[in-house]
């Protein structure tokens, strides 16, 4: 199959043999796609290699035979955001999530748009926690495993003052007492969930309450095997 002038975002690139790269890209019409880029370590291949950096937005030509597509040409469509520190780690995180959860060779246009949006937000240095929570929400919705952010699992409207666990399949489940489930740890405020559903950044304490419940949901869909970026974030938190 010939793939011509296909836009995509570079998720990851790793060395293959002496002069080649294996590249994962998220594309508009083919979803997550694996590319084999030959000869990029040679002098003539340096321009191509520069276009295949993570987070780069590219347009490429390839020929697919089997699982991997043979890259024929690629060009950068813009300048990839320059990230450092926590923002760079966030870029690694969103790309790793897509690589682990997005299906190969299956278009998910909403996910493509969500990735492009979070990439832009990271480059603008907007609220990092809010950018990531929005992307996690959009990722789950685009893959068909999102949940209602207006009502709890019993159909009752969310109470902004209550706290909720997030069940990966049934969505918010109200915490009835401090001894119910994990207590306050690992639960989100109703105010935070309602704000997330309305795409409106919540107050700082409410926003912080979303991180662990969303991680629980994502861990379920990851099959119990965590992310390298989570390990790096946890290690960084321990050192601080």
Domain 2-76 annotated CATH 2.60.200.20:
no
Count each helix (H run) and each strand (E run) in the chain, helices first: 8, 8
Task: Give the pLDDT of residue 212.
Answer: 95
Q: How confident is the model at residue 218 (pLDDT cuts 50, 70, 90)?
A: very high
Q: What percent of the chain has a predicted confidence (pLDDT) above 90?
A: 77
C-alpha 23/C-alpha 54 separation (Å) is: 9
C-alpha 63/C-alpha 66 separation (Å) is: 10
What is the helix (H) or strand (E) element at residue 237, kind and residue range?
Answer: helix 228-239
pLDDT higher than threshold 90 for residue 224: no
Q: What residue ranges of the chain are covered by domains with CATH 2.40.50.140?
A: 2-76
Q: What residue ranges of the chain are covered by domains with CATH 1.20.1440.120?
A: 85-239
Cβ atoms 116, 139 nearer than 8 A: no
| pLDDT tens-place string over residues 53-72 | 999 999 999 999 888 999 99
User: Which overall architecture, per CATH, does domain 85-239 show?
Assistant: Up-down Bundle (1.20)
């Amino acid at each position: 199959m010939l793939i011509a002038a296909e836009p995509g975002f570079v998720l990851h690139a790793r060395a293959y043999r002496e002069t080649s790269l294996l590249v994962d890209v998220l594309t508009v019409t083919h979803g997550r796609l694996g590319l084999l880029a030959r000869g990029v370590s040679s002098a003539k291949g340096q321009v191509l290699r520069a276009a295949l950096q993570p987070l780069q937005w590219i347009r490429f030509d390839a020929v697919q035979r089997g699982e991997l597509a043979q890259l024929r040409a690629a060009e950068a469509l813009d300048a990839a955001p320059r990230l450092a520190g926590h923002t760079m780690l966030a870029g690694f995180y969103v790309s790793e999530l897509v690589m682990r959860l997005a299906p190969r060779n299956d278009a998910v246009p909403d996910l493509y748009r969500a990735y492009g949006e979070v990439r832009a937000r990271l480059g603008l240095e907007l609220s990092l926690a809010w950018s990531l929570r929005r992307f996690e929400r959009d990722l789950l919705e685009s893959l068909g495993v999102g949940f209602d952010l207006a009502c709890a699992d019993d159909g009752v409207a969310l109470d902004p003052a209550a706290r909720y666990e997030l069940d990966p399949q049934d969505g918010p489940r109200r915490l009835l007492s401090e001894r119910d489930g994990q207590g306050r740890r690992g639960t989100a405020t109703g105010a935070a969930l309602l704000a997330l559903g309305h795409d409106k950044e919540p107050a700082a304490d409410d926003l912080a309450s979303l991180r662990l419940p969303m991680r629980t949901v994502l861990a379920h869909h990851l099959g119990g095997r965590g992310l390298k970026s989570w390990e790096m974030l946890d290690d960084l938190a321990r050192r601080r």
